């Protein structure tokens, strides 16, 4: 039976260097926030204090890298790399999924829902969108604490991998969300702040202001295609099947997944094409990881060692 020990001096040195690098780059290139040193101290404390908390911190690295990479997209906005697709995506959406209304006027689904919405739908939309990151992370923790460390690690690494694929595509093809066209037309306006769009109705209904706070810190509004909102619960659903989770959980994940897809369009945060893009990136990322990378022996050994490290 393998004995778990506290980190040695080498591991502590690596941790300190990584935290220092993260804080330095973030402070110089993104902007220093009070929560950054608090998180660094908490991570260091949990890594050192007990073997159990060390294993948990190491297991959460893929999610930490996701958060850091999202934040670091502020260093180089994607609209400085390639032109932003504003009108072509809108016209494609209207051509493929347009809804004909009175006098042969054609609306995108987003425009249709902006005119036809209901309080109960606004509430459900807010509920579903609040699940997009917390529920997958809680699902990962559930796998971890249930002892399914290998399945957890595959889930966490695919979660990170799909995000990195999506972020790369944001730079290849910057795209404006539907609410941008509704508010600003087809002209590119650099530095446009994030907008709550249809989710503002949930904030007004509940008085919580959650989405206003979230979208005020949006790393890049020209990152609509693919919709990574549409990806996260799909990843969780796929791994709930692989891990043979209880039927109730699998059904719940499927419902939330479908709810997020609908909400993305209903609230004008994404086109249907964006949602399809998010689904496609998820499937591609899963297949590449499980049936491509995991068949490369050095990578497979790395994952095995990683799983062993967090399992002891």
- Tens digit of pLDDT per residue, the chain (312 long)? 445 566 778 888 888 999 999 999 988 888 878 888 898 999 998 888 888 899 999 999 999 999 999 888 888 899 999 999 999 999 999 999 999 887 768 899 999 999 999 999 999 999 999 998 899 999 999 999 999 999 999 999 999 999 999 999 999 999 999 999 998 999 998 888 878 888 888 888 888 878 877 776 665 789 999 999 999 999 999 999 999 999 999 999 999 999 999 999 999 999 999 999 999 999 999 999 999 999 999 999 999 999 998 886
pLDDT for 1 equals 42
Provide the whole-model pTM.
0.91
Q: How far apart are CA 150 and CA 140, in angstroms?
A: 11
Q: How far apart are CA 49 and CA 8, in angstroms?
A: 12
Q: How far apart are CA 139 and CA 63, in angstroms?
A: 12
Residue 51 tokens, joined: 């073997």
pLDDT for 36 equals 87
Closest C-alpha to 238, from 257, 221, 225, 212: 257
Closest C-alpha to 107, from 91, 86, 122: 91
Q: How far apart are CA 142 and CA 11, in angstroms?
A: 27
pLDDT for 145 equals 94
Q: In the chain, at which residue ranges do the beta strands (DSSP E only) sit?
A: 99-100, 106-107
Q: How far apart are CA 73 and CA 242, in angstroms?
A: 32
């Amino acid at each position: 039976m393998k004995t778990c020990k506290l980190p040695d001096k080498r591991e502590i040195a690596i941790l300190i260097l990584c935290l220092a690098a993260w804080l330095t780059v973030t402070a110089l290139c993104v902007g220093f926030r009070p929560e950054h040193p608090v998180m660094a101290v908490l991570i260091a404390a949990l890594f050192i204090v007990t073997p159990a908390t060390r294993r948990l911190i190491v297991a959460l690295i893929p999610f930490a890298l996701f958060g850091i990479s999202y934040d670091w997209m502020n260093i180089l906005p994607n609209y400085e790399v390639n032109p932003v697709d504003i009108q072509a995506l809108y016209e494609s959406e209207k051509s493929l999924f347009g809804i004909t209304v009175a006098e042969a006027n054609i609306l995108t689904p987003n425009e249709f829902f902006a005119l036809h919405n209901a309080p109960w739908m606004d509430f459900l939309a807010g509920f579903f969108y609040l699940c997009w990151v917390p529920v997958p992370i809680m699902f990962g923790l559930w796998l971890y604490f249930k002892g399914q460390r290998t399945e957890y690690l595959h889930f966490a690494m695919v979660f990170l991998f799909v995000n990195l694929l999506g972020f790369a595509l944001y730079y290849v093809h910057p795209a404006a969300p539907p609410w941008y066209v509704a508010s600003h037309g087809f002209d590119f306006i650099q530095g446009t702040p994030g907008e709550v769009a249809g989710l503002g109705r949930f904030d007004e209904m509940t008085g919580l202001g959650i989405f206003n706070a979230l979208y005020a810190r949006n790393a890049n509004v020209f990152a609509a295609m693919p919709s990574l909102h549409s990806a996260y619960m799909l990843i969780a659903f796929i791994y709930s099947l692989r891990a043979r989770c209880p039927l109730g959980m699998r059904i719940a994940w499927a419902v939330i997944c479908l709810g997020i897809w609908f909400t993305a369009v209903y609230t004008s945060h994404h086109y249907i094409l964006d949602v399809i893009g998010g689904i496609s990136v998820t499937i591609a990322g899963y297949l590449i990881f499980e049936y491509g990378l995991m068949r490369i022996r050095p990578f497979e050994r790395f994952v095995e060692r990683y799983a062993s490290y967090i399992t002891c």
